[in-house]
Amino acid sequence: MNNLQNGYNDPLEAIESGRINQLSRREFIKLSGVGAGLALAFVSVPFSKSVAAASEGSEFNLYVQINRDGVIRIYSPNPEVGQGIKTALPMIVAEELDANWEDVVIENSPIADEYGRQRAGGSRSVPLRWDELRKAGAGVRAMLIEAAAGEWNVPSSEVTTDQSKLMHASSNRQTSYGAVALLASELNPPAVDSLTFKNPEEYRLLGTRITGTDNMALVTGKPIFGIDLQLPNMLYASYTKCRTIGGRVVKANLDEIKALPGVVTAFVLEGTAGVPRFDPTGVSITPGVAIVAESTWQSFKARESLKIEWDTSEASSDSWSDHVASAAELRGQEGSTVLAEQGDASQVINDATTKVSSQYNFSFVSHAQLEPQSCVAHWQENIMEVWSTSQAQLFVRGSVADLLDIPKENVIAHQLRGGGGFGRRLNNDYIREAALIAQRVDAPVKLQWSREDDMAFDFFRPGGFYNMQASVDENGKLNAWNSHSIAVSADGKEPNVAAGLRPIDFPREILQHYKHTLTLLPSKTPTGPWRAPSSNSYAFVEQSFMHELSVAAKRDHAEFLIASMGEPKWFREGEDYSLNTGRAVNVIKIAAERAGWGAEQPAGRALGLSFYFCHAGHVAEVADVSVDRNKKITVHKVWVVADVGQIINLSGAESLCHGAVIDALSTMMGLEITMTNGRTEQSNFDQYPLLRIGSRPEIDVHFVDSGYSPTGLGEPAFPPLAAAVCNAIYTVTGDRIRGLPIRKSGYTI
């Protein structure tokens, strides 16, 4: 139950925590012994702009090389899946390096232990790299200054920098970074505690709008995604698994398949026992039949002729309708497992005149990242080389090595751009499948999942239920809270990955009487992190319920929310990942003000408000919604006000908020994965109606300049939206929506 105490509910954090602590103490400048290993790795990076150019550059540290001609090559360590990290992280380096952005060329770094947390998850890439990358940039700048000072025979303190140039004002001398790079790179790196950093007001890059580093390649169709990689003599594989999750192969018509056009070979992967679990680090393999062919189409076509006998005796028999029935029986009740309790919430609520009791539910959903899973793997001379889009690259080498029972040094991993992630690529299941298939083939192999594979064999955002009870006192003040999380569980001990454990701090920290309980529903359906795990669904529950309470208390919703926060304070003093009530109130007030909260709205139209804190981000959203008599809604505009500290790339940050609003609207409106007897009932986008362009609202994004260090933005703008829209619908119609997606309540967009 450690996740309960973990404000960001990230299932991978525990695995990583040892590593991160170790890295935070590390001196990042000029790590010994790294150069040789990296040089080898560069040679096999397939999309590197120019391997020759890279080797001509002077290497300063893991992140920076500077060529004589002034090109500054910055290596971006973390996986790019659309969150803009490949632009944002190098911006941090370039800022402290005082580099001219025009001189900067960005490349993916190799996958190597020296790069630490090479992962995209938990909205943590920026905050966890912040100090390290500032040091990397400032360290190189100090070395360049020292080299120029030596050349000019002046004190280092008299040398200044500006946009890739070095100046000595009193003698009116100037040189470029490129001109002194070689000399500078041979100096001893400075001690970390001697480095100086810019004040935020001196920033030239951070907080400005920088277009994505890969945009030119993207708009011209260059091969940069995982699926785009082509190697000489490469073969193409499909992998067919049991649609009843966890079924095993008894036998298959492999001889017939091998005779089909273009098929090179076909074989069974026995796999590991049990239903698949979220497993980024381990060796689990879902059983299935691999078909290796000369083209993707031939490997897909051959699948249609596959006849597989499955053993489903150990497979999932889940049905969503069973969960719904179980939850209905628990309506109004507390759970038997008490997760947190203070005071006597049951009694206070029982005695109260003004109280609300509601049950909320939300569906399983698929990640549906637009690029279906693929991975290229090549086995030669006991070395496995994999090119993947993993969001958890730091675990790829170890996981593949353990699977194949070879040393980790014998696994070379490369990171390629992922066509969306949303948490799906945190699992390394498809990479292990590719490696195991490639080990049996004398050529590089690209494993390609179909969209149907992707939807059927996802590690879903878990569906679930919450019973919510609370009361307000005679002054309309929230005074007791009793929440009950009804969550799916495979082992009967803990909720499945990312299944509901919330709430965390709010409202426990503001109430004398508070209780939170848990009931587990048996479920084998694989689950995993999905953009803002648990918050992506619980925020709808909490913030709809807060609106219910404000209505019951006959108080203005914004005023009620603000009052519920109390005095400005950190809920957990000294912890950045703790809610700060002052920051919360601030974003709520600004959002209300920008949206014109309180002004009279046209008939059939209303504003809805929501606030949520997760991933260290404080975000308030207001939705302007109209509803017609056929329950067709129009979301005219959404205001997003976020306090995530220092903004890195304003363009990217604003875009992430746009995307979070669209994604959240898409999900709350129509997205649902259901299963019957262990089989996923949706298989493609015709049954999974992602939002189309015509349904987009206008979106107004505002970032609060709070002076805090940066925190991540991949997730925290998602959770508040659903409640904001549903609260507006309530205000228009009086219909309280307590289930997602709202399509099931008859609403369309």
Q: Which residues of the shown chain bind another protein in the complex (CB under 8 A)? A: 81-84, 209-212, 214-216, 218-223, 225, 227-228, 230, 236, 261-262, 295-298, 301, 368-372, 417-422, 448, 450-451, 651-652, 655-656, 658-663, 666, 684-686, 690-694, 696, 698-699
Say if residues 468 and 356 touch (Cβ distance below 8 Å): yes
Strand order in the sheet with 739-740: 337-342, 513-522, 478-489, 464-472, 354-362, 739-740
Of 374 and 467, CB closest to another protein? 374
| Residue type at 223 in one-letter notation | P
User: Could you tell me the smallest distance in angstroms from the CB atom of residue 366 to another protein?
Assistant: 11
Closest to another protein by CB, 572 or 696: 696
Question: Closest distance between another protein and the C-beta of residue 156, in Å?
Answer: 38
Burial of 722 (0-12, 13-18, 19+ CB in 10 A): buried
Least distance (Å) between residue 562 CB and another protein: 29
When the beta carbons of 446 and 484 are compared against another protein, the nearer one is: 446
- Closest approach of Cβ 691 to another protein, in Å? 7
Smallest CA-to-CA distance from 718 within 704, 699, 693 is with 699
Rounded Cα–Cα distance for residues 693 and 713 (Å) = 23
Q: How far is residue 169 from each of residues 162, 276, 429, measured CA to CA in Å?
A: 12, 65, 58
d(CA 154, CA 156): 6
d(C-alpha 649, C-alpha 334), whole Å:
45
Helix (H, G, I), strand (E, B) or coil at 634: strand
Report the length, in residues, of the chain.
749
Least distance CB 391 / another protein (angstroms)? 12
DSSP 8-class letter at 243: S
Residue 49: what residue type? K
Using the minimum distance from each CB to another protein, give the nearer residue, 249 or 699: 699
Between 391 and 731, CB nearer to another protein: 391
Query: Which one, 227 or 252, has the nearer CB to another protein?
Result: 227
Kind and range of the H or E run holding 712: none
Nearer to another protein, 178 or 207 (CB): 207
Report helix, strand or coil for 75: strand
- Minimum Å distance from CB 59 to another protein? 29
Q: Which residue has the tokens 């992707």?
A: 454
Q: How far is the CB of 466 from another protein (least distance, A)?
A: 26
Q: What is the DSSP string of 369-422?
A: -SS--EEEEEEETTEEEEEE--SBGGGHHHHHHHHHT--GGGEEEEE-B-S--T
Encoding tokens for residue 415?
Answer: 């990171």
Minimum distance from residue 600 beta carbon to another protein (Å): 27
* CB 724, min distance to another protein, A: 16
Least Å from the CB of residue 725 to another protein: 15
Distance between CA atoms of residues 623 and 637, nearest Å:
6
Residue 725 exposed, middle or buried by CB count within 10 Å (0-12, 13-18, 19+) = buried
Query: Token pair of 494, please?
Result: 């803990």
CB of 602 to another protein, least distance (A): 20
Q: CB of residue 635 vs another protein: minimum separation in angstroms?
A: 12
Q: To 10 degrees, the CA torsion angle through 334, 340, 345, 346?
A: 20
Nearer to another protein, 343 or 689 (CB): 689
Nearer to another protein, 210 or 437 (CB): 210
Q: By C-beta, is 511 or 647 nearer to another protein?
A: 647
Nearer to another protein, 493 or 692 (CB): 692
Tell me if 663 sits within 8 A of 531, measured CB to CB.
yes
Of 599 and 693, CB closest to another protein: 693
